[in-house]
Structure 1
Amino acid sequence: MTDFFTTHKQAILYAVIVVGVVLLLRFLTKLLHNLLEKRSRRKHPNEEPTTIHLTQKILNALWIVLGIMALTFIFIDKESYKAATVNFYLVLYLGIVAVLTLVTASLVQTWFKRKIKQRINKKDDTTSYKFLRYVAIFGVYFIGVLLMLIAFESMRSFAATALGGAGVLAVVAGVASQEALSNLVGGLFIIAFKPFKLGDIIKVDESMIGTVTDITLRHTVIRNYENKMIVIPNAIINKEKLINYDLGERMCCQWIEIGISYDSDVNLAKHIMREECEDHPNLIDNRTEIDKYNNVKKVVVRVISLDDSSVTLRAWAWASNFTDAFVMKCDLYESIKNRFDKEGISIPFPHRTLVFKENQLKELKQQVSQPETTN
């Protein structure tokens, strides 16, 4: 045993030093973690310090990996020592960059989260902050990856070019597809010109209508009234003609259109429609003072077309927002139909009149009167 210790004295001493350094680094990491955690909880008592916990875990893993690599120096020959040293410093560099990247991204995420929460409490628009959060986090990871690529000889020129000024845009433009760039630019246009924001109700077409829940670098997310999430690329939604029910004045005019038969009383039907609309709780009075003075009705009902088998009536009913207007429309169709049935106003089915020529009519009668032949 004494001979073994004497023979491998330097290696054993080196291993003890490496283990001691690793334990010391883990101890210092623990102290730093506790200090930062107390400070964070004192400043933000309602938030969990996830960034600090993440940093501690990554650093502890890095110290162990570096310790294991340092211990392998005992078992390698002098020819492999140089290559092992290069790999050791490479792992150290990559680990430090990874830690800084993840910590920076987490800090950026936390900062934006707090700002968004503050604006929500103040009932301010959060669209710009949520979109810029995606841009900032993407930028942090992009720079972190480029810094990692610098460590490799074959990728050094590429990373150095990308890190230089306009080189970032050049690399992105060269690597990304045209569609991805279109979506990114589309997202920037949405944030800059604000055709809609988070929480707005928009209508892209008859199948895509709902509340905007998120705007990312690539797409816009809409929650429809079936609670389904519709994902629309920014490049597409920028080209579409859409309706924003929350842009400007939120009051919404809802058309109530119903066709009645030609032998029904038009004036009675108009009166029924006006009464049912005025009795609905979602209806609002949109008349001006001049309209009230001139005794203009709260709900205007007019004949808008004379169709093949019906007279189409339309009522203009106002509601405070799109949601109330939609509910009002559904309720009014039901209540007006019930009133029409009671008052004898009929809603006709489409019908056609067939006219036969005399010769065709004779042939048809002969075919009907001719007895069937049996085999």
Structure 2
Amino acid sequence: MIEFWTANKRVIIYVLIVICVVLILRFFTKLFHNILEKRSRKKHPNETPETIQLTRKILNSLWLVLGIMALVFIFIDKENYKVFAQKFYIVFYIGIVAVATITTASLTQTWFKRSIAIKIKTNEDPTSYKFLSYISFFSIYFIGIVLAILVFPSLRGIAQTAVGGAGVIAVIAGVASQEALANLVGGVFIITFKPFKIGDIIKLDETMVGKVTDITLRHTIIRNYENKMIVIPNSVINKEKLVNYDLGERMCCQWIEIGISYDSDIDLAKHIIREECESHPNILDHRSELDKYNNEKKVVVRVINLGDSAITIRAWAWAASFDDAFRMKCDLYESIKKRFDNEGVQIPFPHTTMVFKDQQINKFNRNIRTLNNE
């Protein structure tokens, strides 16, 4: 035993030192983790300190890997010692960069998440914060990757080029496609000029109507009234003519258009439409003081077209928002149709008149008689 100790004294001490250093590092990591987690839970009791927990796991893994690599030095000969020492340094450097990058990105994301929650709580627009959170998240990881590349001599030229302002653009332009860049620029335009924001109800066409739920670097997401998520590239939505029902005044004028037959009483149809509109709970009185003084009707109803088979009557009904206007339109079509049925106002529908010549009729009758004889 004494001979073994004498022969391997330096190795044993080295192993014990490495193990002790790893245990001490893990101990202090746990200690700082508990302190930070306690403060975080005290300050934000409803949040889980995911960033702190993730950092602890990464650091513990890093200390373990470095400890194992340090123990491997025992079996390395002098010729390979320098090469392995360089690899040890690379692992240590990349590990520290990874911890710093992930921690910074997670802290930044948490800060933006809290700021967005405050904005929503105070009924302020969180669109800019959401978009900036994506840019910050991307930038932090981009810088982290560049710093990690710097440790490799063969890739150092690329990293140094990417660090420069012109280099960033060159790298992005070389890696990303033209469409991806168009989406990124489109997202910047949306945030800068604000044609819409998160929470607004927009309409691109009859099939794409809904509430904006998110604006990312690549696309905009809207939730339609079937609860389906529609993903639209920013480059596309920037080219489209859209309707924003929440931009400026939220009051919405809903057209109620119904066609009646030429035999129906126009005055009765207009009276029914106006009466049903004015009795709906979502209707708003959009008249000016002068209109009220002149006893103008709350809902304007006019004949707008004399078609081939129908007289088209339109009512201009105002509601507080697009949602209220849509529900009002559905209710009014149903109630007006029932009133028309009860009071004899006809709604025309397409029909076809077939005309048979005498010769064709006689031929048709002969064919029928032939079939009957058979």
**Does TM, normalized by the shorter one, top 0.5?**
yes
Partner of 1:75: 75
| Residues 167-206 of structure 1: pairs in structure 2 closer than 5 A | 167-206=167-206
Superposed CA offset, 1:15-70 (max 9, x none): 11100111111112122222323333344344332222221111111000000000
**For residue 7 of structure 1, what is the aligned residue in structure 2?**
7
1:295: Cα distance to partner?
1.4
Please state if 1:362 is matched with 2:358. yes
Instruction: Give the alignment of 1:261-300 within 5 angstroms.
Output: 261-300=261-300
* Cα deviation, residue 71, structure 1: 0.4
Larger mean Cα displacement after TM superposition, 118-127 or 92-101: 118-127
- Give the aligned residue type for 1:362: D
Distance in 1 of aligned mates of 2:120 and 2:300: 40
**What amino acid is the match of 2:127?**
T
Counterpart of 2:303, as a letter, is: V
Secondary structure in structure 2 of the residue aligned to 1:316: strand
Q: What SS does the aligned partner of 1:55 have?
A: helix
In the alignment, the residues of structure 1 paired with residue 35 and residue 364 of structure 2 have an alpha-carbon distance, to the nearest angstrom, of 102
Matched AA of 1:198: I
Q: Deviations over 1:128-159 (max 9, x none)?
A: 00110000010000100111111112211001
Partner amino acid, structure 1, of 2:351: H
Local SS of the residue matching 2:165: coil
Matched, 1:243 2:243: yes
Report deviation, 1:368.
2.4
Quote how far apart the aligned CAs of 1:351 are. Answer: 2.5
- Normalised TM-score (structure 1): 0.96
Secondary structure of the residue aligned to 1:48 is coil
CA shift digits 1:327-348 (9 cap, x unpaired): 0000000000000000011111
Instruction: Read off the aligned partner of 2:370 and give its amino acid letter.
Output: E
Counterpart Cα distance in 2 of 1:39 and 1:297: 64
2:139 corresponds in structure 1 to: 139
Structure 1: 5+ residue stretches without partners: none
User: In the alignment, residue 6 of structure 1 is paired with which amino acid?
Assistant: T
Q: Which residue of 2 aligns with 1:65?
A: 65
Given that 1:221 and 1:231 are in contact with CA atoms closer than 8 Å, whether structure 2 keeps it comes out as yes
One-letter amino acid matched to 1:364: Q
Structure 2: which 5+ residue stretches go unaligned? none
Q: Name the aligned partner's letter for residue 360 of structure 2.
A: L
The answer to whether the Cα contact below 8 Å between 1:309 and 1:351 also exists between their aligned partners in 2 is no
Matched residue of 1:298: which SS? coil
Q: Quote the Cα distance in structure 2 between the aligned partners of 1:349 and 1:279.
A: 28
Give 1:56-135 correspondences, 5 Å limit. 56-135=56-135
Query: SS at the partner of 2:287?
Result: coil
Contact 1:221–1:230 (CA under 8 A) maintained in structure 2: yes
Q: Deviations 1:287-330 (Å, cap 9, x if unpaired)?
A: 00111111111111111111111111111111000000000000
* Alignment RMSD: 1.4
| 1:292 partner letter | K
Equivalent position amino acid for 1:221 in 2: I
**Counterpart for residue 27 of structure 1:** 27
Matches within 5 A, 1:201-212: 201-212=201-212
Displacement of 1:220 after TM fit? 0.3
Q: CA deviation at 1:354?
A: 4.6
Question: How many residues are aligned here?
Answer: 371
SS in 2 for 1:168: helix
Secondary structure in 2 matching 1:372? helix
Other structure's SS at 2:94 match: helix
Deviations 1:84-106 (A, max 9, x none): 11110000000000000001101
Task: Give the residue type in structure 2 aligned to 1:372.
Answer: T
One-letter identity of the residue aligned with 1:133: S
| Residue type at the aligned position of 2:93 | Y
Shift of 1:355: 5.2
The one-letter code of the counterpart of 1:328 is M
Structure 1 equivalent of residue 155 of structure 2: 155
Q: Distance in 2 between matches of 1:235 and 1:293?
A: 50
- Hey, what's the Cα distance between the residues in 1 that align with 2:118 and 2:349? 57
